[in-house]
Structure 1
Amino acid sequence: MARRTTPDLPDDFEEHILDTDIKQEMESSFLEYAYSVIYSRALPDARDGLKPVQRRILYTMNDMGLRPDRGHVKSARVVGEVMGRLHPHGDGAIYDAMVRMAQPWSMRVPFIDGHGNFGSPDDSPAAMRYTEARMAPAAVAMTASIDEDTVDFKPNYDSRELEPTVLPAAIPNLVVNGTTGIAVGMATNMAPHNLVEVVQALRHLITHPKATLDDLMRFIPGPDLPTGGKIVGLDGIRDAYESGRGSFKMRATARVEAIGRKKGIVVTELPYGVGTEKVVERIKVLVQGKKLQGISDIKDLTDRENGLRLVIEVKNGFVPEALLEQLYRQTPLEDSFGINNVALVDGQPRTLGLKELLRVFLDHRFEVIRRRSQFRRNKLADRLHLVDGLLIALLDIDEVIQVIRTSDDAAAARERLMSVFDLSQLQAEYILDLALRRLTKFSRIELEKEQEELRRQIEELDAILHDDKLRWKVVSDELAEVAKTYGTPRRTVLLESAGVAVTASAVQLEVADDPCYAFLSSTGLLARTSNAEPVGSGESRTNHDVVASVVRTTVRGEIGVLTSRGRLLKLGVLDLPALPGSANDPNLQGGLPLSEMLQLESGERALALCTLATEGPGLALGTRQGVVKRVNPEVLGRDEWDVIRLEDGDEVVGAVELTTGTETLCFITSDAQLLHFGADGVRPQGRSGGGIAGVRLAVAQYVVSFGAFDSEAGEGAVVVTASGSSTALPGTEPGLVKVAPFSEYPGKGRATGGVRCHRFLKGEDVLVFAWAGPAPARAAASSGAPVDLPDATGRRDGSGVPGSQPIAACAGPVAVRLPVVEG
């Protein structure tokens, strides 16, 4: 490294630069930062349940005398005092922590009594210069007896003052109020609980130290959230109580009411951490996107007098209970809470179960009671020592006065009193400082009573200090007093499962899980039948675009949508509009566009619907590059997943759900080659597989159509092809259309080239459309308008006749293509 010279320095000055390894410096700096965040900012102490900033706020307000019986002071004054004395961080972090301790929707037992705008679940609070604060009654219990040597103190950030390492904390704050924080490499998220229930569990644990988790859960069955609501499902709660990690679902409290001539859903309690604006915004997005139907209006009538009241008006003809079920699934009216009980124990971050949390608090209170008792005993003993000396002096007060009067100075008087009456230095000093009015007979009687009372109190404290059982009794009695003073009834309703969430299963009765059929049209419309009429065998008479895919399902079930990118997207059937018409004669004119239900990538197309069966022959896919794949049935716990691994430039051109595994699979290529073979000749693969060779393609050729149909339908199946020029703009040339019986085409083995299915005339060199399936076939244009097809001919490789307009889709009878699903 080159030497630098500085003009202001002497000529003989040499600068010494110390080289430091950058890796070592980064590791050291990062560890120091991580340590600071973990121990000084983000994680609470398991004893008092407070983060350092919260502890400093309460301690400072206690020092300032901001008791509940005093007036409020400016929040900025408190923040400034905390920042100047104890907290080496910005005022924003201090005020944010102070605000949260004052919000009843954030804390189950608030510690700050705020005056002014301290925000709402949706809005931020006013600036600290506009609000005022003082300690809430519960904060007094947290700081009580802190001046009685109950906790240790440490130097503050500049070592000019002392601050407590922990508060005495008569309230089990960590379990009652919970906490949240993000440190480096770890985070904590603890749910609030009911104070009375927690105290009952603590007292039971005092008398039964070996109590099991099930014993404690008889007193603490689950969290009790500040905003009320419902908790659905208790399995995750027990996991969290046992291991320190788990999750549960929170659900809003809502009821159906008559609103004028209509019915409406009135929400009176929301999940913890969810505000009304968040719910309203989400509902508006769903309604505008036509993903949620049946809502005519939504009003937020929340005020301070009546509390939370969110009114959702329901359109006539819609079942409010069914709509409420959709709201739970699609909006924050139902949310999850992930428990991660990470706290500092003996200065180390640990993940704690319920019993460990309670035990740490009890051990802390046990030590607080011991130190407090020792402090009080020492103070009483000091006072008793003075009273004993004063009584000795009063017994011979004349001689005491004579000794004092004949002494040269105070020091000599002190020495003579100690010598003549056998007093200690403190006793002698106290007698010298005594006021003459105390030398009355009445004062002597008072001193004797005080002496007797002091000895009794010291005896009681000695018993507490030397008997652990008695000390535990003091802990238990004080906890009972805390529960009596600050306890409130439970707000959150605990439910075993979602089915129990609605009394008498109202939603289950109104929106039964009846069988139905879900449809996908060639123009991308989605719908379901409003009934479960038996499937007939007649031809669909609907004057609309053809049904590209149909599956049998249930109203409250889920189906999958297969796309050209090889993805399977999960879709709730209840979200689809229920339309009149039977399964074999659907009317999709009132269907919902798929683009409003699912997010597809650019250029991605929906090909088919499928059930989410976990058993059966699975799915069959054919790609543009001639790959075929059978996919093992597999349903993952997420909204979408890939079912095939595609090569670059490849895409899925056809997909179908198999029903028997013996169906006929059919490829039709751009150079008019048709190949069909049995599905049982294709080995099933998992979803990550890339498939196997299906049809052999000539150079620069590609697959136009892929499909599958069972052997019975194959006897009356037809092949529809349309030829044209590769130079024409796609979708603009009707081409020559031909319909031929499928039986005219012999089968060949997989991965072969197939047989010719259409003869090109002059100027034609490509198939612009192809389809094979059961007859009678129906065709539709890209607009959905029907397209007439010519009669079937017996010539498998003949040319076609001019079409009326370009064909975009083709399908056979709906009834024939319905898969058989058990149940």
Structure 2
Amino acid sequence: MSEEGKIIKINIEEEMKTAYIDYSMSVIVSRALPDVRDGLKPVHRRILYDMSNELNLYSDKPHRKSARIVGDVLGKFHPHGDSSVYDAMVRMAQEWSMRYPLVDGQGNFGSVDGDSPAAMRYTEARMKKIADEVMADIEKDTVDFTLNFDDTIPEPTVLPTKIPLLLVNGTSGIAVGMATNMPPHNLSEVVDATCAYIDNPEIEVADLLKYVKAPDFPTGGIIYGYEGVREAFETGRGRVVIRAKSEIEHTHSGRECIVITEIPYMVNKAEMIKKIADLINEKKIEGISYINDESDRSGMRIVVILKQDAVASVVLNTLYKYTQLQSVFPVNNIALVDGRPVMLNLRDLIHHFVRHRHDVVVRRTRYDLAQAEKRAHILQGLLIALDHIDEIISIIRGSDTPDIAKASLMERFGLSEAQASAIIEMRLRALTGLERHKIQDEYDALCKMIEYYNEVLASEPLQMKIIKDELLEMKEKYGDERKTEVVFSAEEFNPEDFYADDEMVITISHMGYIKRTPLAEYRTQNRGGVGVKGSATRDEDFIEHIYVTTMHNTMLFFTEKGRCYWLKVYAIPEGTRASKGRAIQNVIQIEPDDKVRAYINVRRLDDKEYVDNNYIVMCTKEGVIKKTKLEAYSRPRQNGVNAITIKEGDELIDAALTSGHAEILIAAREGKAIRFPENTVRAIGRTGAGVKGISIEEGDEVIGMVCVEPENKKDILVLSENGYGKRTDLDDYRITNRGGKGVKTIQITEKTGKLISIQAVDDENDLMIINRSGITIRTAVTDIRLAGRATQGVKVINLRNGDQIASVMAVPKSEEPEEAPAAETTENQGEGAASAPETAQE
């Protein structure tokens, strides 16, 4: 056998190991992973280089067929399948795939529904304006070049991008034994963070988080929870939870619907809708009537119509759990650093980009300096020639050949060959005075530029200033607002930090609708005013409870069955003064046949001294009273707790927070009231039944309870259902033993109607009264004069068409001016008759 045909035996195990390592390194370095400097994989880099330097498809040039671009890239730089190049170019043109697209596509480039783009022979493309910045200065020897696959054309190993592409656009790729998945970020935030790094190279990741809040996805959505984001920024790995952006709206028929306007990144909208529809049909998701995609050119809109009794928040959370309305973006920041795959955190990514830009700026400055010196050298020769033009002409005319003329000029004036050649090729028009000045001005300008370039090359701080200025210019040109919101999950933040501690009015209707409304929305009227519409209710519904609190308070809700529930005020749905509110069963998990009868407003359930030295006093319709330490209610439970054991036929009507030393008044519907000290009631456990507070006749019932602290001088205000009311000094009610029948608190007649409310008030209170038709009036307590305990009082509100008062609440005095008074009333109210003008306002 000849020497050339000799067979060499090798170990197959070693050969496979070597071949596989070579293959895997080729995939890692030349296909799947981006370079940390320009953030691009080879295919994207080759597409942009070919579009710019080979086909001249900058943003100000006409579009060209995609097939031409793909063919050129395949033939010159990327000898793989045409689909690999076209798919990569299409993705660079899709606004839902890239945060800042680099290709300007014309034609069908696919859709967020997963539709395929048109064939490359139909579509056209050119570079986006931002891609011009990626290619800027590539002709100035700013990056290294290598020969292409067949050693015929040079191609760049990296692009001299002014934009930190790896951070702003992210990337994803699967190599051999490793993968990368990097989210996009907001350009303005990344530039600010990079500038902060330039100012302080020792800056920590925690400080960079002040600038780069979180990833910013092109499809918007909501990042839910921040721990995964922080972990990704600090370590290079983390889980970012993304939720669709949704709103709760109402259809024309009044049914609630969930409207989705933004979906998580890389989610196929059509497949997501199909998945939701399948879950509805399989009964895995309850409460949805149907789902409809109403997206158009103006934006995305997916409408989920709910069933009549469905709770929107519950359905939405179910959708988050079972569908891609909530998805996870696993961050894995692996990129090539000096040809090696490395896991990088936020600071590393910024560091390597700045290092690359520093290298580009230095190389560009050297190139510009060399070009300027070369040109200045020529101009210097031309100026010498113009100063000795007659002698120059004589030498040239006396020479037999241009080479002899060049040699003579070089010898006579000490010129270089380049200068001598420029003089010989100089046109006669350069001899004019104007041209002489132009050459001199250009030479002077070049001398200044050469001086500046030398300063830049000698000063690293100046080089960094140039990088920073160019970054700020990119921010000015291409920076925009965030598309993705960041919402902290319940475990990560204190919700109170996001709400001002404003005063709110909480209203609860007879049929159980609750809302909060800013107190400032209610106006003050004179006593006797007809009022303003306070709430939109159904014909058979009316406002039954109205309470005043602030946004940061915790509200304890007590129901007529004796249950207690907890809720922060900011968690109560907000509504306007005229809105109906939300069914309370959708806000707190009370039983369908139960109703809220009282609330207690507390701030510090975690303060042991506070909860141990304050008490909850409760009163039932049958006159039972109970006292329990606040500490028993200091541990909120989602499903509530038993607050008092209610006997059959009885129900809780009121509850109050006391110090343990208050005076308690209990009033009955037939006009009797009893006063006794709180310390005569022993504190018992949360599940106890209580003791007798007042004895009432059969057919009578307790309508309210008042607890007055000794340091707070209060008057007792009572109001009857037909609108008659009065203030009485607390001392007019003698102290008796608990469990007695009480004394008369108002003269009950057919005209006054039964007693409806008892309140403790002073001159700093206003009275808010709501009648059964939903009309609200706010009047100053000072308009209601003091009267004796046994009188019937003055008319506080005019009622129409047999209407009656439904609820009364003493609120802090309003600082707003009163409404203009209307005509005076002439009706005589009897003892304590009205003497102030009355207002009629709808």
Band the TM-score falls in, shorter-chain normalisation: 0.5 to 0.7
Aligned residue in 2 for 1:268: 261
* Equivalent residues in 2 for 1:346-425, closer than 5 Å: 346-425=338-417
Secondary structure at the aligned position of 2:249 is classed as strand
Sequence identity percentage: 47
1:298-326 deviation per Cα after TM superposition (whole angstroms, max 9, x unaligned): 1111122x111111111111112221111
Deviation at 1:445, TM superposition (A): 0.7
Q: Distance in 2 between matches of 1:148 and 1:501?
A: 54
Q: Is the 1:278–1:332 contact (alpha carbons within 8 Å) kept by the matching residues of 2?
A: no
Instruction: Establish whether residue 95 from structure 1 lines up as the match of residue 93 from structure 2.
Output: no
Q: CA deviation at 1:425?
A: 0.4
* Deviation of the 1:205 alpha carbon: 0.6
Distance 1:336 1:455 in 2: 58
Following the alignment from structure 2 to structure 1, what is the Cα–Cα distance between the partners of residues 144 and 3? 51
Alignment pair present for 1:109 and 2:100 = yes
Alpha-carbon offset, residue 288 of structure 1: 1.2
Distance 2:234 2:76 in 1: 40
**Which amino acid counterpart does residue 35 of structure 2 have in structure 1?**
D
* Aligned with 1:76 (options 67, 84, 91): 67
3-state SS of the aligned residue for 2:400?
coil
Task: Work out whether residues 45 and 344 of structure 1, in 8 Å CA contact, stay in contact via their aligned partners in 2.
Answer: yes
- For 1:270, the aligned partner's letter is I
Alignment deviations for residues 248-301 of structure 1 (CA, whole Å, 9 cap, x no partner): 100000001122212211100000011221221111111111111111121111
Out of 16, 31, 46, the residue aligned to residue 36 of structure 2 is 46
CA distance in 1, matches of 2:7, 2:366: 57
Q: Distance in 2 between matches of 1:101 and 1:110?
A: 5
1:161 aligns with 2:153: yes
TM-score (norm 1): 0.60
Q: Quick check: 1:248–1:338 contact (8 Å CA) kept in 2?
A: yes
CA distance in 1, matches of 2:196, 2:251: 48
Output one character per residue of 1:5-37: Cα deviation in whole Å (capped at 9) or x when no partner: xxxxxxx99964333321122112111110110
| 23 and 266 in structure 1: CA distance in 2 versus 1, 3 angstrom threshold | same
Change (3 A) 1:294 1:26: same
- Write the mapping of 1:193-272 to structure 2, written as runs, cut at 5 A: 193-261=185-253, 262-272=255-265
Q: Residues 511 and 493 of structure 1: is their aligned pair in 2 closer, same or farther, counting only changes over 3 Å?
A: farther
Q: CA deviation at 1:38?
A: 0.2
Q: In structure 2, what residue type is equivalent to 1:386?
A: I
Is it true that 1:318 corresponds to 2:316 in the alignment? no
- Partners of 1:268 and 1:394 lie apart in 2 by 72
**C-alpha distance in 1, partners of 2:421/2:494?**
74
Query: CA, structure 1 residues 511+293, in 2 after alignment: closer, same or farther (shift >3 Å)?
Result: farther
The equivalent of 2:14 in structure 1 is 24
Matched, 1:299 2:292: yes
Most deviating of 267-276 and 16-25: 16-25
Q: Whole-Å Cα distance in 1 between the matches of residues 4 and 33 of structure 2? A: 48
8 A contact 1:253–1:268 mirrored in 2: yes
- How big is the shift at 1:329? 1.1
The 2-side partners of 1:405 and 1:90 are apart by 64
CA–CA distance in 1 between the matches of 2:460 and 2:373? 22
- 1:285 corresponds to 2:285: no
Query: 2:429 matched to 1:431?
Result: no
Given that 1:148 and 1:376 are in contact with CA atoms closer than 8 Å, whether structure 2 keeps it comes out as: yes
Give the letter aligned to residue 321 of structure 2: R
Alpha-carbon distance, 1:99 to partner: 0.7
Q: 1 CA distance for matches of 2:268 and 2:74?
A: 31
**Inter-partner Cα distance in structure 2 for 1:263 and 1:232:** 24
Structure 2 residue identity aligned to 1:263: E
Give the deviation of 1:580 after TM superposition.
9.3
Aligned counterparts of 1:27 and 1:15: Cα–Cα separation in 2: 25
Post-superposition offset of 1:221: 1.4
User: Residue 231 of structure 1 aligns to a residue in which SS?
Assistant: strand
TM-score (norm 2): 0.58
Counterparts of 2:220 and 2:490, CA distance in 1 = 17
The 3 A distance-change label for structure 1 pair 533 and 283 is farther
When the two chains are superposed, the root-mean-square deviation of aligned CA atoms in Å is 2.9
**1:105 Cα shift?**
0.8
Checking the alignment, whether the CA contact within 8 Å between 1:41 and 1:52 is kept in structure 2 is: yes
- Deviation, structure 1 residue 239: 1.0
**SS in structure 2 at match of 1:408:** coil
Once the two structures are superposed, residues 202-250 of structure 1 have per-residue CA deviations (whole angstroms, 9 ceiling, x without a partner) of: 0011011111111100000111111111001111111111111111100
SS at match of 1:147: helix
Q: Which of 166, 172, 176 is the matching residue for 1:180? A: 172
**AA aligned opposite 2:385:** A
CA distances 1:427-452 after superposition (whole Å, capped 9, x unpaired):
00011111111111111111111111
Q: Tell me, in whole angstroms, the C-alpha distance in 2 between the residues paired with 1:181 and 1:581.
A: 57
Within a 5 Å distance, the mapping from 1:620-639 to structure 2 comes to none
**For 2:261 and 2:395, how far apart are their aligned partners in 1?**
81
Matches within 5 A, 1:603-618: none
Alignment of 1:36 onto 2:29: no
2:739 aligns with none
Q: 1:76 to 1:333 in 2, by over 3 A?
A: same
State the Cα distance separating 1:148 from its structure 2 match. Answer: 0.1
Distance 1:426 1:410 in 2: 13
Paired residues in the alignment total 510
Q: Measure how far apart 1:80 and its partner are.
A: 0.6
Alignment of 1:492-571 (within 5 A): 492-497=484-489
Alpha-carbon separation, structure 2, partners of 1:204 and 1:17: 63
Distance 1:133 1:324 in 2: 41
- Alpha-carbon distance in structure 2 between the residues aligned to 1:127 and 1:501: 52
Distance 1:112 1:215 in 2: 34
Structure 1: gaps of 5 or more residues: 4-11, 513-531, 535-573, 583-823
Letter in 2 for 1:311: V
Are the structure 2 counterparts of residues 329 and 383 from structure 1 closer, same or farther at C-alpha, using a change threshold of 3 Å? same
The verdict on how the C-alpha distance between 1:357 and 1:511 changes in structure 2, with shifts beyond 3 A counting, is farther
> Aligned runs of 1:605-684 on 2, under 5 Å?
none
2:127 corresponds, among 121, 135, 140, to 135
Q: What secondary structure is seen at the aligned counterpart in 1 of 2:172?
A: strand
The answer as to 2:321 corresponding to 1:329 is: yes
Q: Per the alignment, do residues 416 and 20 of structure 1 end up closer, same or farther by CA in structure 2, a change over 3 Å counting?
A: same
Residues 99 and 118, structure 1, Cα contact 8 Å, conserved in 2: yes
SS at match of 2:140: coil
Q: What is the identity, as a one-letter code, of the residue corresponding to 1:132?
A: E
**Matched residue of 1:265: which SS?**
strand
2:148 counterpart of 1:148:
no
Three-state SS of the structure 2 residue aligned to 1:168 is coil
Q: CA deviation at 1:127?
A: 1.2
Measure the CA separation in 1 of the matches of 2:225 and 2:316. Answer: 18
- Matched residues in 2 for 1:406 and 1:498: separation? 94
Equivalent position SS for 2:139: coil
Q: Is the 8 A contact 1:232 1:501 kept in 2?
A: no
Q: Residue 280 of structure 2 aligns to a residue in which SS?
A: helix
Instruction: For 1:15 and 1:248, locate their aligned partners in 2 and report how far apart those are by CA, in whole Å.
Output: 59
> What amino acid does structure 2 have at the position aligned with 1:291?
K
1:445 counterpart residue number: 437
